[in-house]
Amino acid sequence: MRILYVVQRYGADVAGGAEQHCRQFATRMAARGHHVEVLTTCAVDARTWEDRYPAGDEQLDGVTVHRLSTPRIVDERLYDTLGWEVLWSGRRVPPALVEVWLRAQGPVSTVLVPWLADRSAGFDVAVFFTYLFWTTWAGLRTAGGRVPTVLHATAHDERPFWLPIYDTELRSPDAYAWSTEEERDLLRLRGAGAVPGSVIGVGMDPAPRGADEHGFRARHGLGDRPYLLVLGRVDPGKGSTDLAEWFAAYKRRRPGPLALVFVGERAVAVPAHPDVVATGFVSDAERTGALRGALALVQPSWFESFSMVLAEAWAAGKPAVVQARNPVLAAQARRSGGALPFEGYVDLEVALDALRSDPELAARLGQAGRRYVEHHYNWERVLARYERLLTLARRRFAARGRRRPPGHLIRGSAA
Amino acid sequence: MGDEDTADQQWASRYDALVDELRAEARRRREQGLVPADFEERLDAHARSLAGAAAPLPERVRQALAPAAARPALTPAASGGARSAVQAWAARAVGHSLRVLASRIDTLADATTAAVLAVAEAVTHPADHTHADLVASLDEVRDRLAGLDRLPAGGLALADLRRRVEALEAALRPVERGWQPWYRTGGLDELDDRAGGGGAGRAVRAARLAEHVAARQPVLDLGCGSGDLLALLAERGVAARGVDTDAQAAGRALARGLAAATGDALEALAAADDRSLGAVVMAGVAERLAPDQLADVVASAADKLSAGGVLVVDSLEPDAFVAALARDPRVRRPVDPAYLEWLCRQAGFEGVSVERGAGDDRYTLVATA
């Protein structure tokens, strides 16, 4: 199959979950003998979209990557002001202004639409990642009708998701690759019920052996203290600051050696506390070492469409404690039997007390999580499901017949 | 069942009890005021500020969409009305699309009227208007128009409407596929038994199948006929339901108090939630399906079975096919067990085994998800 991926960022230095997810699929589909190309930007940082990779083509792990430059044409002050107006004011904002906000969010490339108009029909299927960004909003519209399309929406219940500007986009793919059953239900509620799809999730490799737990402990001054681990960006929207505050309260009520370790880039500073450590961004090897030594993973995030870090912890046989107000985390915990749920401080306290006082319980939770990941997120199974999904999209496209390309009104783009 | 599977099932029930215990403990601590109350109040405020304006759909839209999720259940109570429920759902969906379309046209008409008035006003009193005002009005019209024409082939609302009309037409088509003879097709099964077709006979085969699936509930029996397997499972207290395109056969199963319905096997399987089934059984069905239908059933079963769930297929040995073809007009093509085994592995099944009874001209394939 000739597969084209369209994604806002792509590369080894890119930290976002959806982008890593895309890279995993592209690389592994190429390894299975498919011809895979990626259309993306030169950006690494999702806030500035500044060009960091050179524009042009490169080969990466058997995949041809086409990088487009994304000159930032709207200043951040305008983006923030518009963002408040569009997302938070509660007023009805004219569609043209919402589109300005969407473009200001970035990344926008003047070349993306003509590239897809010219070349997307040469692929068997075009796969888009993340409903939120302009690359998907404009790209799906251009490729739809020219080539079968699949969308990994990586959607969760957040304000932008409900904006009418996404109505068309969310209904237009030939098929959806849902991360979880909960994401599927959310998209159906949003009006995308007519689009078929499959719950694909993400594949997970078994945790590498020989991870250097002691090196991690030594580098961050943890000695032999037990610690809870939080993986991912330190951000109030991810629940990190609430968790730090609750942990401080927990330590007042349960003094002892227990520490809380945040591993991930810092969008905000972590509140200073003698028992809270923030390492910043670390290498994959160090991250695995951090997991190996942890008592449990805590996932306090309010917004997740899958939570790769949770699957990562389970793959390493670690138990987890998860924010159950997030329906995806609550359901994953229930399905796997590998995590204890909490909503508020008291639940967290009860869960931590239980984990610390009963090592056998912690081990059993971790084991259940590992079995769950091995069964559902084994790459071989995930990719078999995925190939069936791409075939479904192609069949659906063929059944509907080739439609007239949507750009036919634009001078010079007529097919 | 493997030791690990047993341990997993035991843990699943222990886990639920554990979470209940932890919740009860948290309730106790809250009631006793053992933690600062303002913690939880502040958390709720934070949650509201993050999620409060997530703009849930208006209630009327939510209601219009709700039936899409509530597929007709294959229970005796619902079976009589299953087709009409599907039709009603599809009709409501078309109605919803029409309402969305009408509302967009309304909005476009409002914007157009406002723009025309603005142009007229500007022509009458040129000094009172700026170019920007007019452009903004015209832009609004252009945006509304674009909203109607966002998709190729006639725009979003129209394309959506077309899809829904197609769904309605599909729902109105008879559930049964292909040829419908004038005679009672159940009689063919009796003929098959008398001729020794299928060797051990249906009752014995049903007992053999029951052994494979009894520990894996809920069971979905595709092509349940008059319910021989369902009855055996009911005796053992195993949750099971069945579906059959033959309304008379399904009716006999219903009359025995079994959870059977008339319907298409593929549609019944597709309607089940992912990973919700313990076993899917197809006895005497594979040889009656077209190749793409068989491939779709196997793929769909892989998605619908829970961890460790089984797909059990009982079918004719290719060697016995000619005799069966001559005897039963419903038989279409032989399915080689080696092909079926390959197909199951392609669909992601892990363990696949094929069993044969002595002197039997049928085989049973068991694939474990």
What is the interface size between A and B, counted as CB pairs within 8 Å?
A: 144
Which sign does the torsion angle of CA A82, A328, A127, A47 carry?
A: positive
Higher pLDDT, A122 or B71: A122
Q: What are phi and psi of B264, to 5 degrees?
A: -90, 135
d(CA A11, CA A18): 12
Cα→Cα distances B354→A139, B341, B344, B362, B367, Å: 48, 8, 12, 10, 9
**Is the fold of A2-70+106-203+378-409 the same as that of A213-375?**
yes
For residue B224, the distance in angstroms to the closest alpha carbon of chain A comes to 27
Residues of chain A found within 8 Å of residue B54, distances taken between Cβ atoms = 157-159, 161-162
Higher pLDDT, A105 or B191: A105
Q: Which of A111-115, A200-204, B32-36, B77-81 has the lowest mean pLDDT?
A: B77-81
Segment B293-323, tens digit of pLDDT:
888 889 889 989 988 899 999 998 888 877 7
Q: What are phi and psi of B234, to 5 degrees?
A: -60, -40
pLDDT of residue B198: 46
pLDDT at residue B244 is higher than 50: yes
For residue B365, the distance in angstroms to the closest alpha carbon of chain A comes to 20
H/E stretch holding B258 reads: none
| Domain spans of chain A, in order of start | 2-70+106-203+378-409, 213-375
Q: Which of A197-201, A320-324, A349-353, B245-249 has the lowest mean pLDDT?
A: B245-249
Contact: B152, A246; criterion CB under 8 Å: no
- Check: CB of residue B175 under 8 Å from CB of residue B264: yes
Written out in words, the top-level CATH class of the domain with range A213-375 is alpha beta
Q: What is the ipTM of this complex?
A: 0.75
Cα→Cα distances A373→A202, A297, B156, B273, Å: 10, 15, 38, 19
pLDDT of residue A262: 95
Tell me the CATH number for domain B186-368. Answer: 3.40.50.150
pLDDT of residue A95: 83
Residues of chain A found within 8 Å of residue B56, distances taken between Cβ atoms = 162
Q: Give the one of B15, B25, B57 whose C-beta lies nearest to A337's C-beta.
A: B15
Contact: B65, A188; criterion CB under 8 Å: yes
Residues of chain B found within 8 Å of residue A198, distances taken between Cβ atoms = 303
Most confident of A36-40, A49-53, A160-164, A323-327: A36-40
User: What percentage of chain B reaches a pLDDT higher than 90?
Assistant: 15
Segment B110-150, tens digit of pLDDT:
777 777 777 766 766 666 656 666 777 777 777 777 666 55
d(CA A202, CA A179): 7
pLDDT of residue B5: 67
pLDDT at residue A319 is higher than 90: yes
For residue A203, the distance in angstroms to the closest alpha carbon of chain B comes to 13
Residues of chain B found within 8 Å of residue A253, distances taken between Cβ atoms = 35
Contact: A368, B273; criterion CB under 8 Å: no
Contact: B39, A388; criterion CB under 8 Å: no
pLDDT of residue B180: 58
Instruction: Please name the residue of chain A whose CA is at the shortest distance from the CA of residue B347.
Output: A384
pLDDT at residue A410 is higher than 50: no
Q: Give the one of A87, A199, A350 whose C-beta lies nearest to B29's C-beta.
A: A350
d(CA A196, CA A396): 9
- Check: CB of residue A173 under 8 Å from CB of residue A128: yes
Burial (CB count within 10 angstroms: exposed 0-12, middle 13-18, buried 19+), residue B101: middle
Q: A72 in contact with B at a CB cutoff of 8 Å?
A: no
Segment B171-218, tens digit of pLDDT:
655 433 445 566 666 667 667 666 654 445 677 788 888 988 988 889
Contact: B43, A87; criterion CB under 8 Å: no
- Name the CATH topology of A2-70+106-203+378-409: Rossmann fold (3.40.50)
B219: left (phi over 0), alpha (psi -120 to 50) or beta: beta
User: Nearest Cα to B105, choosing from B152, B153, B149?
Assistant: B149
Higher pLDDT, A317 or A409: A317
Strands A56-60 and A63-68: antiparallel
Strands A35-41 and A2-6: parallel
- Check: CB of residue B257 under 8 Å from CB of residue B275: no
pLDDT of residue A339: 96
DSSP classification of residue A301: -
The β-bridge partners of B281 are B221, B312
Q: With bands split at pLDDT 50, 70 and 90, how would you rate the model's confidence at B46?
A: low
Q: Alpha carbon B212 to chain centroid distance?
A: 24
Q: Give the one of B43, B54, B55 whose C-beta lies nearest to A344's C-beta.
A: B43
d(CA A20, CA A256): 37
Q: With bands split at pLDDT 50, 70 and 90, how would you rate the model's confidence at B57?
A: very low
The β-bridge partners of B319 are none
What integer best gives the mean pLDDT of chain B? 74
For residue A155, the distance in angstroms to the closest alpha carbon of chain B comes to 13
Most confident of A387-391, B224-228, B270-274: A387-391
Q: With bands split at pLDDT 50, 70 and 90, how would you rate the model's confidence at A294?
A: very high
Q: With bands split at pLDDT 50, 70 and 90, how would you rate the model's confidence at B55?
A: very low
Which sign does the torsion angle of CA B24, B26, B29, B33 carry?
A: negative
What integer best gives the mean pLDDT of chain A? 88
Contact: A189, B65; criterion CB under 8 Å: yes
Q: What are phi and psi of B368, to 5 degrees?
A: -105, 130
For residue A287, the distance in angstroms to the closest alpha carbon of chain B comes to 29
3-state secondary structure of A367: helix
Q: Write out residues 343-402 of A within 8 Å (CB-CB) of B.
A: 344-347, 349-351, 354, 361, 364, 368, 371-372, 375-376, 380-381, 384-385, 388
Please enumerate in sequence order all residues whose Cβ is within 8 A of that of B60, keeping only pairs 6 or more positions apart, or say none.
none
Name residue, tokens 């046209």: B105
3-state secondary structure of A307: coil
Residue/partner pairs of B233-240 with CB below 8 Å, 24 or more apart: B234/B258, B236/B210, B238/B213, B238/B214, B240/B213
H/E stretch holding B153 reads: none
pLDDT of residue A241: 84
pLDDT of residue A90: 74
pLDDT of residue A313: 93
Other Cβ atoms closer than 10 A to A321 = 26
Length of chain A: 415
Strands A125-129 and A56-60: unpaired
pLDDT at residue A128 is higher than 90: yes
The alpha-helical segments, DSSP class H, found in chain B are 3-31, 37-51, 59-69, 76-79, 82-124, 131-148, 156-172, 186-194, 202-213, 228-235, 247-255, 265-271, 291-304, 321-327, 337-346
Indicate the angle between helix axes A134-143 and A95-105, nearest 10 degrees.
110
Length of chain B: 369
Residues of chain B found within 8 Å of residue A330, distances taken between Cβ atoms = none
pLDDT of residue A405: 45
Burial (CB count within 10 angstroms: exposed 0-12, middle 13-18, buried 19+), residue B32: exposed
Segment B72-90 mean pLDDT: 42
pLDDT at residue B50 is higher than 70: no
H/E stretch holding A192 reads: none
Residues of chain A found within 8 Å of residue B140, distances taken between Cβ atoms = 94, 96
